[in-house]
A = this chain, B = another copy of it.
Amino acid sequence: MTQIRAILFDVFGTVVDWRASLIADLSAWGTAHGITADWAGLADAWRGAYAPSMDRVRRGAQPWTLLDDLHRQSLQTLLPGFGVTGLDDAQILHLSHVWRRLHPWPDSVAGLTTLKQRFTVCALSNGNVALLIAMAKFGGLPWDFVFGSDLTRHYKPDPQTYLGACGFLGLEPAQVLMAAAHPSDLAAAQRLGLRTAFIARPDEYGPGGTADPAGAWDYAVNGIDALAAAL
């Protein structure tokens, strides 16, 4: 068995709790500005616009666009339907950057810190470099490196993202473990020869949800601290 040298983490949902973070941040902003809206509904609709917005880039209907900017475009499309109108550019930018202000799951920082002692620990995310750096500073994520999608100008699950990360690390795919809460991400990595770790996040879409079913992955665990223990 080839020795694992580096671990690539999906970020949104796997390392950070985007939904609870969005609802808390948007609600607090609304309160401060005297604006009432269905912030949970907006969070879910915004996340719903995520994959279609990257697909537009992937199929060439829109030129390469940073995820920060896709987030802003989706938000501007959604806000009127939630009764939020009349915001200025600075306010739109602040709200769209809520994706830079996401809180880690309770086990993430401790788990990454432990893993960093033995492995090269990186983000492999559809977020852009600036977004990922800001999020790491906000949440205290101790990355060795963040592979933003703007480094390869491809969004996952395009092969260029996984293979690009292995290339920059100077490692064979079999030396690299992809860790994610989403089977589609793991399946794409596995097809390219990376090892896989499924991290169950049943609460990603709200409390009381169910995790995606475990598949034929090398590891299946309930948190990043549990991954550190398993390795």
> Contacting chain B: which of A53-61, A128-136, A176-184, A220-228?
A128-136
| Number of identical monomers bound together in the oligomeric complex | 2
| Cross-chain contact A168 with B150 (CB below 8 angstroms) | yes
Chain B contacts for A170, CB-based, 8 A: 66, 68, 128, 130
Chain B contacts for A169, CB-based, 8 A: 129-130, 133
Q: How far is the CB of A154 from chain B (nearest CB, A)?
A: 15
In the complex with contacts A145-B145, A145-B146, A168-B136 CB distance below 8 A? no
Q: How far is the CB of A182 from chain B (nearest CB, A)?
A: 25
Ranked 3 nearest A-B pairs via Cβ = A130-B170, A129-B168, A133-B144
- Listed in ascending order, the chain A residues whose CB lies under 8 Å from chain B are 66, 68, 116, 120, 128-130, 133, 136-137, 144-146, 148, 150-151, 168-170
| Cross-chain contact B133 with A145 (CB below 8 angstroms) | yes
| Cross-chain contact A137 with B148 (CB below 8 angstroms) | no
Chain B contacts for A116, CB-based, 8 A: 137
| Cross-chain contact A136 with B129 (CB below 8 angstroms) | no
Chain B contacts for A148, CB-based, 8 A: 168
Residue of chain B at shortest CB distance from A168: B129
Residue in contact with A145 in the complex, picked from B120, B129, B168, CB distance below 8 Å? B129
Residue of chain B at shortest CB distance from A171: B130
CA distance A169 to B148 in the complex (A): 11
Residue of chain B at shortest CB distance from A117: B137
Chain B contacts for A145, CB-based, 8 A: 129, 133, 145-146
In the complex with contacts A129-B169, A130-B169, A130-B170, A144-B137 CB distance below 8 A? yes
Cβ contacts A to B, 21 pairs, < 8 Å: A66-B170, A68-B170, A120-B133, A128-B168, A128-B170, A129-B145, A129-B168, A129-B169, A130-B168, A130-B169, A130-B170, A133-B144, A133-B145, A133-B169, A136-B144, A137-B144, A145-B145, A145-B146, A148-B168, A150-B168, A151-B168
